[in-house]
Amino acid sequence: MSKLFLFDALREATDEEMQKDKSVFILGEDVGHYGGSYKVTKDLHIKYGDIRVLDTPIAENSFMGMAVGSAMTGLRPIVEGMNMSFLLLAFNQISNNAGMLRYTSGGNFKIPLVIRGPGGVGKQLGAEHSQRLEAYFQAIPGLKIVACSTAYNAKGLLKSAIRDNNPVIFFEHVLLYNLQDDVPEEEYFVPLDKAELVRSGSDITIVTYSRMRYHVLQASNELIKHGYNPEIIDLISLKPIDIKSIAASLKKTHHLLIVEECMKTGGIAAEIIAQINDNYFDLLDAPVVRLSSHDIPTPYNGNLEKATVVQPQQIVEAVKSLLS
């Protein structure tokens, strides 16, 4: 094991896959000589050259189209969005082309494409740089969506995503890049469709993902002091949702709290609630509770920004209320 920052774990995964497979290449704004906005691609252009680590113009729809075309013709592109919010400018390419071409071509084309980069509510980045796009992309057929949360799962997930033959949206939270974690020296992979059981418990199932994992862990420390025994699940896979792991937990706890940074309307929690109600309603002893961000553009003001996002004390109060 070695201690790695999350951004270094992503860089290691990229480096290893580029070394093993010459069809893997990176493209995006400032990924080359600058090393990426959060240094995930630092110095890779020195090792692999300016063609395999390709700096693009500020033209998201255009270079996303180039990535889709290159994936169709046998390459394995990794697109870095300098900020995932900017990739809304490439939404047409992602939805109408990346997500659908394998189907509309009758399986004649594979689209082994990874679209990755920073997102989420940072520290006073303003509304346009604080987007949570998971709900935007979740309805698009043909995509896989994952959200890393530790250096360990970041590296294993990215390696799996690069080798997958389908387009993968790979969410990284802007505030998690400097988190450290133990990462094995030997090669490993993390599946793209499985949730992680972070903590076993018996009283309530708390489902979360990305940065909210740490808010939930902070809240659980407080809950344990008061005699509660929460079970914590990190979704990791946002599409498909590993609903069977959630159901297995509900068979023990019979109570479900979902904590997300996504907006409440049409968010990931909304989809989980729908699937639970459709298939596992009888496992519940109380209605599902969700804690989500407010349905407003994220304010620039620091105090207002904090007020829009779920905080650990709200999680503690929600658990106490649900179990009372």
Catalytic residue, chosen from 129, 173, 215, 255, is 129
Write the single-letter amino acid at 279. N
Catalytic residue, chosen from 29, 60, 271, 305, is 60
The model's pTM: 0.95
CA 143 – CA 210 distance, rounded (Å): 19
pLDDT at res. 207: 98
**The pair of three-digit structure tokens given for residue 58, joined into one six-digit string:** 């500020």
Phi, psi of 111, deg, nearest 5: -125, 75
The residue count for the chain = 324
Is the link from the previous residue into 184 a cis peptide, with omega within 30 of 0?
no
273-321, pLDDT tens digit by residue? 999 999 999 999 999 999 999 999 999 999 999 999 999 999 999 999 9
Cβ-contact 250, 199 below 8 angstroms: no
Q: Are strands 76-80 and 24-28 parallel, antiparallel or unpaired?
A: parallel
The residues that bridge with 28 in the sheet, in sequence order, are: 55, 80
254 catalytically annotated: no
Q: For the residues 38-66, what does the mean pLDDT come to?
A: 96
Per-residue pLDDT band for 174 (boundaries 50, 70, 90) equals: very high
- The H-or-E segment that residue 28 falls in is strand 24-28
Domains observed in the chain: 2-183 (3.40.50.970), 196-323 (3.40.50.920)
CA 157 – CA 269 distance, rounded (Å): 22
Q: Which residues contact 104 (CB under 8 A, 6 or more apart)?
A: none
101-156, pLDDT tens digit by residue? 999 999 999 999 999 999 999 999 998 899 899 989 999 999 999 999 999 999 99
**The pair of three-digit structure tokens given for residue 155, joined into one six-digit string:** 């590296």
